[in-house]
Structure 1
Amino acid sequence: MKDLTQQSAAGLSHLYRKGKASPLEAMKAVLARTATVNRTINAFCTVDGDAALKAARASERRWQKGKPLSPLDGVPVSIKELVRVKGWPASMGSRLTDKTPADADAPAVARLREAGAIVFAQSTSSEYGHKGVTDSPLHGITRNPWNTGRTPGGSSGGAGAAVAAGLGPLAIGTDGGGSVRIPSSFNGLVGLKATFGRVPAWPPSLTGDLANTGPMARTALDCALMMNAIARPDARDAWALPADETDYARKLDGKLKKLKVGFVLRFGDHPLDIEVAALVTRAARQFEALGCKVEEVEAPFSYAEAGRAFVIHWLTALQRLLRLFPESNHDQFDPSLLAGAKAGLRYSMQDLVEAQVTRRELAIAWNLFFEKYDLLLSPTVAVQPFEVGKNLPDGPDGKGNPLWSPYTSPFNLSRHPAATVPCGTSRDGLPIGLQIAAAHYEDGLVLRAAARYAEAHPLKFPVLPEMM
Structure 2
Amino acid sequence: MTEATDLSIHELKGKFTEKSLSPTEYWLALEKHIEAWEPTISALYAYDPEDARRQAAASTERWAKGAPLGPLDGIPVTLKELIATKGQPVPLGTAAVELIPAAEDAPIAARLREDGAVIFAKTTCPDYGMLSSGLSSFHQLSRNPWDPSRNPGGSSAGASAAAAAGYGPLHIGTDIGGSIRLPAGWTGIFGFKPSHGRIPIDPYYLGRCAGPMTRTVEDAAFSMATLSRPDWRDCTSLPPNEIDWMDLGIDIRGMKIGLMLEAGCGLPVEDEVRDAVVAAAKRFEAAGAIIIDVAPVLTRQMLDGLDAFWRARFWGDIVGLSEERRNSILPYIHSWAKGGADISGVDAVRGFNQTIEMRRSCGRLFAEVDVVLSPTNPIVSYSAEWASPTNDPALPFEHIGFTVPWNMSEQPAASINCGFSRSGMPIGLQIIGPRFGDLLVLKLSNAYETWTGGVTNWPKRPG
Both structures adopt the same fold (TM-score exceeding 0.5): yes
Match 2:370 to one of 374, 391, 410: 374
Using structure 1 for the length normalisation, give the TM-score.
0.94
Q: Deviations over 1:233-273 (max 9, x none)?
A: 111112222222222222x1333232110000011144111
Q: Which residue of 1 aligns with 2:242?
A: 245
Q: Give the conservation status (yes or no) of the 8 Å contact 1:321–1:341.
A: no
Shift of 1:401: 8.5
Q: Which residue of 2 aligns with 1:467?
A: 462
CA distance in 2, matches of 1:258, 1:233: 34
Q: Which residue of 2 aligns with 1:331?
A: 327
CA distance in 1, matches of 2:447, 2:428: 15
CA distance in 2, matches of 1:350, 1:394: 29
CA distance in 1, matches of 2:343, 2:124: 30
Is 1:424 the counterpart of 2:419 in the alignment? yes
Q: Deviations over 1:2-61 (max 9, x none)?
A: 311112222212222232221111111111111221111000022111221111122122
CA distance in 1, matches of 2:176, 2:77: 21
Q: Give the conservation status (yes or no) of the 8 Å contact 1:143–1:149.
A: yes
CA distance in 1, matches of 2:272, 2:148: 20
Cα separation, partners in 2 of 1:202 and 1:256, compared to 1, 3 Å: same
Is 1:404 the counterpart of 2:399 in the alignment? yes
- Where structure 2 has 5 or more consecutive residues not aligned to the other structure, the ranges are none
Q: Which residue of 1 aligns with 2:286?
A: 289
Q: Give the conservation status (yes or no) of the 8 Å contact 1:87–1:102.
A: yes
Is 1:450 the counterpart of 2:454 in the alignment? no
Read off the aligned partner of 1:289 and give its amino acid letter.
Answer: A
Read off the aligned partner of 2:455 and give its amino acid letter.
Answer: L
What does 1:30-69 correspond to in 2, within 5 Å? 30-69=30-69
Cα separation, partners in 2 of 1:54 and 1:401, compared to 1, 3 Å: closer
SS of structure 1 residue aligned to 2:206: helix
Q: Which residue of 1 aligns with 2:259?
A: 263
CA distance in 1, matches of 2:66, 2:286: 41
Shift of 1:320: 2.4
CA distance in 2, matches of 1:164, 1:371: 36
Shift of 1:394: 5.8
What does 1:269-418 correspond to in 2, within 5 Å? 269=265, 270-299=267-296, 301-393=297-389, 403-418=398-413
SS of structure 2 residue aligned to 1:200: coil
**Which stretch shifts more, 8-17 or 30-39?**
8-17
Q: Give the conservation status (yes or no) of the 8 Å contact 1:23–1:60.
A: yes
Using structure 2 for the length normalisation, give the TM-score.
0.95
Q: Give the conservation status (yes or no) of the 8 Å contact 2:309–2:349.
A: no
Q: Which residue of 2 aligns with 1:438?
A: 433
Q: Which residue of 1 aligns with 2:22?
A: 22
RMSD value, Cα: 1.9
CA distance in 1, matches of 2:109, 2:194: 16
Q: Give the conservation status (yes or no) of the 8 Å contact 1:255–1:452.
A: no
Q: Give the conservation status (yes or no) of the 8 Å contact 1:318–1:340.
A: no
Is 1:230 the counterpart of 2:210 in the alignment? no
CA distance in 2, matches of 1:118, 1:87: 16
Shift of 1:405: 2.9
CA distance in 2, matches of 1:148, 1:305: 36
Q: Deviations over 1:124-177 (max 9, x none)?
A: 000110110011121121000000100000111100000110112111111111
Cα separation, partners in 2 of 1:203 and 1:393, compared to 1, 3 Å: closer
CA distance in 1, matches of 2:73, 2:254: 37
| Poorly superposed stretches of 4+, deviation over 6 Å | none
Read off the aligned partner of 2:253 and give its amino acid letter.
Answer: K
Shift of 1:212: 1.0
Is 1:211 the counterpart of 2:208 in the alignment? yes
Q: Sequence identity of aligned pairs in percent?
A: 36
SS of structure 2 residue aligned to 1:216: strand
Read off the aligned partner of 2:433 and give its amino acid letter.
Answer: A
Cα separation, partners in 2 of 1:346 and 1:413, compared to 1, 3 Å: farther
Q: Give the conservation status (yes or no) of the 8 Å contact 1:421–1:435.
A: yes
**Which stretch shifts more, 86-95 or 305-314?**
305-314
Cα separation, partners in 2 of 1:401 and 1:356, compared to 1, 3 Å: closer
Shift of 1:211: 1.1
Shift of 1:321: 3.3
CA distance in 2, matches of 1:131, 1:99: 21
- Where structure 1 has 5 or more consecutive residues not aligned to the other structure, the ranges are none
